Structure 1
Amino acid sequence: MVVLSMVLGFLLALSTGERQLDTKIPSPGEIPEQGDPPQFLLKSCQPTPSCKDCISSHPSCAWCKQLNFTASGEAESRRCARREELLGRGCPPEDLVDPRGRKEVLQDRPLSQGVRGEGATQLAPQGVRITLRPGEPQRLQVRFLRAAGYPVDLYYLMDLSYSMKDDLERVRQLGHALLVRLQNVTQSVRIGFGSFVDKTVLPFVSTVPSKLRHPCPTRMERCQPPFSFHHVLSLTADAEAFEREVGRQSVSGNLDSPEGGFDAILQAALCQEQIGWRNVSRLLVFTSDDTFHTAGDGKLGGIFMPSDGHCHLDSNGLYSRSPDFDYPSVGQVAQALSAANIQPIFAVTSATLPVYQELSKLIPKSAVGLLSEDSSNVVQLIMDAYNSLSSTVTLKHSPPTPKVHISYESHCGGPEEKGEAGEQGQCNQVRINQTVNFWVTFQATSCLQGPHNLSFRALGFSEELRVELHTLCDCDCNDTQAQAPYCSDGGDLQCGVCHCNPGRMGRLCECSEAELSSRDLESGCRVPNGTGPLCSGKGQCQCGRCSCSGQSSGRLCECDDASCERHEGILCGGFGRCQCGVCHCHANHSGRACECSGDIHSCISPEDGLCSGHGQCKCNRCQCLDGYYGALCDQCPGCKTPCERYRDCAECGAFGSGPLATNCSMACAHANVTLALNPILDDGWCKERTVDNQLLFFLVEDEVGGRVVLRVRPQEKAADHTLAIVLGCVGGIVAVGLGLVLAYRLSVEIYDRREYSRFEKEQQQLKWKQDNNPLYKSAITTTINPRFQEEQCPPL
């Protein structure tokens, strides 16, 4: 039991221990994503050599396809930059290549408001095609309407080990009552029955032939041979058939406490045709009074082959391959139930309730209920669990793809109520005919090889939303031209860039490789009469001109356009363009790193105006005059409050003390000081300092006409409780000591009395006399010769 709890705790930690990181994308409607973002999301747009690489590198990147956009010697990779930067450098808007993702709704049947039964439409839309640009999020609204009277299939899976003998009697009468309760919710209900015990190998079940025939402890009672899983009754709407088949069942027996319930759950989920599951709400009620075996336990019985995840029911409904395969793992059971869209209800006794509660956390859309000792509350338990599960709407997707991040935002109370983002959408306590909305955010981290299909489903319901995902990783520049004149008839033009034929070189493919060997051509790539490296070591010499690499520019690549000053780690503060080591700032920004904003909103005080009238606003920050400080220049050390200005007058006038005590009448002629008897001490009173072991409070009542009225309230002295505290401590110590002595004497007296009573009782039970010890033997032995008298000598 302890080991099983540890295993469940470990699996739970694994399922919830995934690291999460919120990432902001510089695009409209920035949305945080779950999981580790790709590296390109953590950096800004960087130059790339082609349009395809540009739009795939970062969602803020755009490409300018204008001919001759780059200056002589400037790398073609400089065509890739932020849209604002390219426009600022003169790229026409019609030559900007900046594709955006899009979504197309393929099927969107309206939700069936007020419609009952299986034909209701609860999930919309039903089909969507989404095209994602890497790094750019796309949001999709998914609506769900909980319809009334949705059909239900319920499969009752029962533990028939010997300890469940009393419960079987209750279950035999379950069918009619359960159907009646469920028919109050929906008119289409079907129920089925299956049972389980354990694998029929040692040490789980006794393999003695007589025990295999009759494993129960009493020979006179009805008992069936042990089995792993037995599918007894397929799903049916006939309550009498349910009660009839269950009535034929009897308990069995096994050796150890855990049961083989996982084998039964897995087969009930996999054998859908034999069980008879419909494409409706599927419930599996699992009842047991003990824990379960899991993967690895089969090794105790010599079973090493893992469960293969296939159905193995024979013609009699028995799990025929149970001795061949190990028990399934928690993950296998959870995956099988989720794939089959089955909602398990674990009805277990109090002793095993904590274990199944931990198990329920690992299985989506499951519930746990406390089963009474004789299963008398099973109908109510099932109904409570069904109501809880059906009112919880959980939206999830499958199968996942590592190249697309998906997050959910739940709006359960209406479109104005925003929920939290997570790895699934969930709304609780959803009422019948209530519509809830989920916003699903898609974000591609890299390009997909082809279309990727996803299915979204509200767990426990049959409808699906099919999403077809595409990635936008190619540029449609509409200027592709083979052997273009712009490229000197020596290459192909694509997105404003020449792709030269083999043997041709240069930005416009204007020269051949044979010409590059001439030293005369290299002279144009060096400083006049210089011996330094070609193109300052920052580019290649092609056709007598430098073709710069990276962020270099200039005729000889002498300018580094990445060497400008940075503000908060961003080149030119993100508000300018770096050109040859100098920041060229955008409008309304200035400074060497464009760090100075022309806005003044951070300098304005709602009450006192710009910098409170005591400073100037520069770079959206207040520069205060001498003597003032604070973000809005609203504080100064020489500006005294009324309490500070009139404190000395209040002290000398009320108590005759303080620095003005000797000249109070003249220094404080403008102040009228009175003592307040019982004033209300509120925010209007100024709490100052201790004067003669008491706090001074005073209120400035009037400050008109050059005179001020001060009302002073001294704090009453607290009573001296020192003597009472000392006497109390001494009395407490004495009382505790006397109590300990009395307790010790009392315990000794009780012990002595008990020992004496025991001694008297033993004395009364003695059956022999107390003056003779029956075990005592004397050390003296007396021997008498019987013929001694006859052989005496005659007298002389």
Structure 2
Amino acid sequence: MRFSLGSWCIFPLVAGLVLAINYAAAQQRGSSADSNPCVSKLNCSECIRTPTCAWCAQHDFGAAEGGRLPRCNQQNKYIDGPLAGQCRLEDIVNPDSEFRAILDLALSKAKSGIDLEGTEGRDAVQIKPQRVSLKLRINEAYDMHMQYAQAEDYPVDLYYLMDLSKSMEDDKDKLSELGNLLAERMQSITSNFRLGFGSFVDKVVMPYVSTVPANQVRKAAVSGNLDAPEGGFDAIMQAIVCKERIGWRDRARRLLVFSTDASFHYAGDGKLGGIVKPNDGLCHLNNDGGYTHSTTQDYPSVSQINQKVKESSVNLIFAVTKEQYHIYEQLNKHVEGASCGVLSNDSSNVVELVQEQYNKITSSVEMKDNATGAVKVTYFSNCLGNGPMVQTNKCDGLKVGTVVNFTARIELSGCPIDPKEWRQLFQIYPVGINESLVVDLQMLCDCDCERPGNLGYISNADQCNGGGDLKCGICHCDDSHSGRFCECDSNTAVLGDHEASCRSDNTSDILCNDRGTCVCGVCECQPRPNPTEIITGQFCECDNFSCDYYNGLPCAGSDHGTCECGKCVCKPGWKGSDCSCRDSIDTCIPPRGGEICSGKGDCVCGECQCFEEDGGRYSGKYCEECPTCPSKCPEYTPCIQCQVFESGKLTKEECANCSFTPVEVDVVKEEFPSDRQCWFYDDDDCRVTFVYGYDDEGEFVVRVQKTKECPPVLNILGIILGVIGAVVAIGFALLLLWKLFTVIHDRREFARFEKERQMAKWDTGENPIYKQATSTFKNPTYGGKQ
């Protein structure tokens, strides 16, 4: 395989409000724990990891009440509470999300050279801002706003990677003729354009390619393979990762056109040729542009190709023949930013195909990110309209300079176990563009006063009787001490009576709510048989398993909410006593826009409850179906005719404006609940079947059966000639029958005659009916006289 390249606000950290606790009476404390998830948190880290909770780091907080006041409480209870002012403002730990734009250049096109003002050239800026810093609490969402616009005259690098197997020989000749035309056509799109060319065949080992010297690939311009698939994945990998060899520029839209008429080998196929070493995803091109590891490394996998495409921001265009289109159409779905087009048999349409795919790529933008673990990013946009923002990461119909506003909602579902992962750097980027928004994320998983060297941290503190460290106002005892102030020494065995500290109120004799053991004034809660079920709280009053269940899971599962002190704390986007109800109407709006539930239902818990009217009941995910209403089949028929079968009454311009792109399938069937089957007859009286509806992801899909059901074609001339032939044949047959009958009759008569003759008794020499002839003479002149 050889390659060659041609010319080419700050939001300040607010320390909350004054900590105060709604503590009216001891009897009310138990009920408040059931409705307040904050009070069960025993340290500052646990407290700030719970939304809306704040911590009081004051050492003597609640001393007058015997230390029973919870240090962690909801911040909306700090306002005008009966104990307002009990905690000093400087001791409130209530971190808020902090956002800061580090690099925020305006959207602009590229500029080269030095202008009259002496300003040097700069690269185009298509995403804004470019780098930000964000501090974020767990289970709290932050909406970050950003913009994207395709810059005018943006640089384009196009690399054409062609299959040079024997079946593509005529395509090679045609491509050489169209090279200049392709360059000229792309120059009309951008003045900053570079074009390169590369070729590939399969691995030069059996059983892929004949290794007979006369047939070796290295000695031929084109190659004949022994098997059908080609080694295109090797070529794609090298074309992407060999940045310097190929000549990819940092700031350019990179297009890799992959042209072939065959399928592909992928990871694992190398074993057939004795090649078992996995592909390492590195560049292995020599100075002549040849792939040096063809016979030593296996083919890349689809995931490897996808990873490298994302890392290098390459737009992969599969230009394949019609017979292979369905294979690469499926592959296209697993490679980010890839597209697929049908190549004519001699590649004569390559210029139009590349321009069409380029226009399709540049007319849309899709935002993605490489965030991992506990970081979740959700995208919202109104694309080109002025309507409300809806959940989507893709916008179509863009033009050069069109500004699209996106909102990235960043959420943290939890703190990683390793504190090193509390600081992460991830990117938000438009697919296929080598520009991104870099997010420097710091997870607020602990408090400063819990770390040595910070205010509020005292080692071997006197407040803890020298038996532990003071962290954020509470004592953390060493292994030999226990108690609220580390006053109990396990080595002395003089514990005293500390049971009063284990009672939830002064009127009860129950220690630790009968769910724990009082050890030196501190409740040690009992373990549960199920290790995931935990009892917590100062008096063992809380647990994580006594919440409402949905589908057998507390709070509908960890994706929906968490069980905090017997009550569900729902995550953003969910609500209800069991967190099973969606707190959004986005899922009730059809993907193509429109009214909530199509105006025919109410959005309840994120799902449409359709109306029932006199004409019938509406149905479907978005109440878009009505059995007694007129069908939408005639509405979609013209677009299907023009897009799939290139027929019908629509012009090319009208066809391009269709609101959907049908998917061709071998056999149409209803796969989703909202699917509705339709059919129509075209001008040739052929029946076309299709199905429309919404898939599991809420996307509108139209699936069309590739083959039409056509009536048999009548051959008029054949019928006429057949009738004439039949008449002639019948007449000839009748003549033969007549002739046969006459012959039979004659033979019968002759046989009868012969029989009668043989039965005669007279001499055969005499004729019994013979009579002697009698002669009479008369003179015509005789008058009767003598």
What is the rounded CA distance, in whole Å, between the counterparts of 1:496 and 1:343 in structure 2?
56
1:106 corresponds to which letter in structure 2? I
Which one of 410, 413, 423 corresponds to residue 442 of structure 1?
410
Matched residue SS, 2:174: helix
Per the TM alignment, residue 156 of structure 1 is displaced from its structure 2 partner at its CA by 0.9
- What is the CA distance between 1:499 and its match in structure 2? 3.7
What is the Cα deviation at residue 59 of structure 1? 1.8
Contact 2:164 2:201 in 1 (8 A): yes
Superposition pairs of residues 106-117 of structure 1, within 5 angstroms: 106-112=102-108
Q: Does 1:287 align with 2:259?
A: yes
Partner of 2:83: 90
CA contact (8 A) 2:39 2:73 kept: yes
Take 1:157 and 1:316, find their aligned partners in 2: how far apart are those partners? 16
CA distance in 2, matches of 1:276, 1:526: 75
Structure 2 equivalent of residue 427 of structure 1: 395
CA distance in 2, matches of 1:169, 1:135: 61
Name 1:362's counterpart in structure 2.
334
Q: What is the number of residues matched between the two proteins?
A: 502
How far is the alpha carbon of 1:54 from its aligned partner?
1.7
Q: Residue 307 of structure 1 aligns to a residue in which SS?
A: coil
**Contact 1:102 1:138 (8 Å CA) reproduced:** no
The structure-2 alpha-carbon separation of the partners of 1:475 and 1:552, relative to structure 1 and needing over 3 Å to count, comes to closer
Per-residue deviation, 1:71? 7.2
Match of 2:95 among 91, 96, 99: 99
Amino acid at match of 2:223: S
**Aligned partners of 2:110 and 2:386: how far apart in 1?**
21
Match of 2:472 in 1: 495
Letter in 2 for 1:205: V
Matched residue, 2:46: 53
Per mean C-alpha deviation after superposition, the further-off stretch among 371-380 and 61-70 is 61-70
What is the 5 A alignment of 1:138-287?
138-212=142-216, 225=219, 250-279=221-250, 280-287=252-259
CA distance in 1, matches of 2:289, 2:307: 23
1:459 aligns with 2:431: yes
Q: Name which of structure 1's ranges 98-107 and 114-123 shifts more when overlaid on structure 2.
A: 114-123
Q: How far apart are 1:294 and its partner, in Å?
A: 1.6
Pair 59,316 (structure 1): closer, same or farther in 2 beyond 3 Å: same
Q: Is the 8 A contact 1:73 1:548 kept in 2?
A: no
**Partners of 2:502 and 2:523 within 8 A in 1:** no
**Gaps in structure 1 of 5+ consecutive residues:** 1-26, 28-42, 214-223, 227-249, 572-579, 582-592, 594-748, 764-796
Matches within 5 A, 1:441-590: 441-447=409-415, 448-449=419-420, 450-476=422-448, 478-481=455-458, 487=464, 492-500=469-477, 505-510=482-487, 512-513=489-490, 516-517=493-494, 537=514, 541=518
Cα distance change on mapping 1:479 and 1:294 into 2, 3 Å: closer
Contact 1:74-1:552 at 8 Å conserved across structures: no
Listed one character per residue, the Cα deviations across residues 209-255 of structure 1 (whole Å, up to 9, x for unaligned) are 22227xxxxxxxxxx736xxxxxxxxxxxxxxxxxxxxxxx432212
Shift of the 197–547 alpha-carbon distance from structure 1 to 2, 3 Å rule, reads closer
Measure the CA separation in 1 of the matches of 2:333 and 2:549.
44
Residues 546 and 190 (structure 1), Cα distance of their counterparts in 2 relative to 1, 3 Å cut: closer
One-letter identity of the residue aligned with 1:175: G
Amino acid at match of 1:445: S
Deviation at 1:485, TM superposition (A): 6.1
Residue 131 (structure 1) aligns with: 135
Question: What are the within-5 Å matches in structure 2 for residues 412-423 of structure 1?
Answer: 412-414=383-385, 416-421=387-392
* Aligned residues: CA RMSD: 4.5
Cα displacement (A) at 1:402 = 0.9
Question: Alignment partner of 2:271: what SS?
Answer: helix
Q: Which amino acid aligns with 1:442?
A: I
Match of 2:531 in 1: none
The TM-score with structure 1 as length reference comes to 0.55
1:64 aligned residue (38, 42, 56) = 56
Alignment of 1:344 with 2:348, yes or no, is: no
8 A Cα contact 1:414 1:437, kept in partner? no
Alignment partners' CA distance in 2, 1:396 and 1:179: 31
Partner letter of residue 97 of structure 1?
V
Task: Judge conservation of contact 2:110–2:123 (CA < 8 Å) in 1.
Answer: no
CA 1:115–1:271 in structure 2 vs 1: closer, same or farther (change >3 Å)?
Answer: closer
Counterpart of 1:597 in structure 2 is: none
Aligned mates of 2:428, 2:503 — CA distance in 1: 63
Is this contact kept in 2: 1:167–1:373, CA < 8 A?
yes
Residues 347 and 433 (structure 1 numbering): CA distance in 2 closer, same or farther, change over 3 Å? same
Residues 383 and 540 (structure 1 numbering): CA distance in 2 closer, same or farther, change over 3 Å? same
Question: What's the offset of the Cα at 1:495?
Answer: 2.5
Counterpart of 2:241, as a letter, is L
Question: Are the counterparts in 2 of residues 47 and 79 from structure 1 also a CA contact under 8 Å?
Answer: no
Contact 2:329 2:340 in 1 (8 A): yes
> Normalised by the size of structure 2, how large is the TM-score?
0.56
Give the direction of change, closer, same or farther, for the CA distance of 1:162–1:479 in structure 2 (3 Å limit).
closer
Deviation at 1:269, TM superposition (A): 0.8
Q: What SS does the aligned partner of 1:471 have?
A: strand
Residue in structure 2 matching 1:334, options 295, 306, 311: 306
What is the match of residue 639 of structure 1?
A: none
SS at match of 1:139: strand
3-state SS in 1 of match to 2:427: strand
Farther off after superposition, 275-284 or 313-322: 313-322
Q: Distance in 1 between matches of 2:516 and 2:63?
A: 15
Note closer, same or farther for the CA distance 1:159–1:480 as it changes in structure 2 (3 Å cut). Answer: closer
Change in 2 beyond 3 A, CA 1:265/1:203: same
For the 8 Å contact 1:199–1:205, the answer to whether it is kept is yes
Tell me by how many angstroms 1:419 deviates: 2.8
SS in structure 2 at match of 1:517:
coil
CA–CA separation in structure 2 for the residues paired with 1:330 and 1:144 = 29
1:171–1:135 CA distance, 2 compared to 1 (3 A): same
For residues 508 and 366 of structure 1, what CA distance do their matches in structure 2 show?
63
Aligned-residue offset at 1:70: 6.8
Q: CA deviation at 1:320?
A: 2.0
- Give me the whole-angstrom Cα distance separating, in 2, the residues matched to 1:263 and 1:568: 52
Deviation at 1:464, TM superposition (A): 2.6
Query: What are the Cα deviations for residues 3-28 of structure 1, in whole angstroms up to 9, with x where unaligned?
Result: xxxxxxxxxxxxxxxxxxxxxxxx9x
Deviation of the 1:517 alpha carbon: 3.1
User: Matched residues in 1 for 2:104 and 2:129: separation?
Assistant: 4
Q: 1:480 to 1:260 in 2, by over 3 A?
A: closer
The structural deviation recorded for 1:266 is 0.9
Structure 2 letter corresponding to 1:104: R
Q: Deviations over 1:437-482 (max 9, x none)?
A: 2211222233352532112322222223222111112224654456
* Distance change in 2, residues 1:509/1:305 (3 Å): closer
Structure 2, unmatched stretches of 5+, are 1-15, 17-35, 113-120, 450-454, 526-534, 556-564, 567-576, 578-721, 737-786
Which amino acid letter does the alignment assign opposite residue 399 of structure 2? R
Identify if the C-alpha distance between structure 1 residues 343 and 75 changes in structure 2 by more than 3 Å, giving closer, same or farther: same
The CA distance in 2 between the partners of 1:432 and 1:454, in whole Å, is 27
Give the deviation of 1:85 after TM superposition: 4.6
**Quick check: 1:74–1:548 contact (8 Å CA) kept in 2?**
no
SS of residue matched to 1:455: strand
* 1:382 partner amino acid: V
Residues 1:251 and 1:483: Cα distance change in structure 2 (over 3 Å): closer
Query: 1:190 deviation in Å?
Result: 1.1
Rounded Cα–Cα distance in structure 1 between residues aligned with 2:303 and 2:500: 70
**Conserved 8 A contact 2:103-2:130:** yes
Please give the alpha-carbon distance, in whole angstroms, between the structure 1 residues aligned to 2:147 and 2:471.
44
Following the alignment from structure 2 to structure 1, what is the Cα–Cα distance between the partners of residues 94 and 43? 13
1:322 corresponds to 2:294:
yes
Secondary structure of 1:268's counterpart equals helix
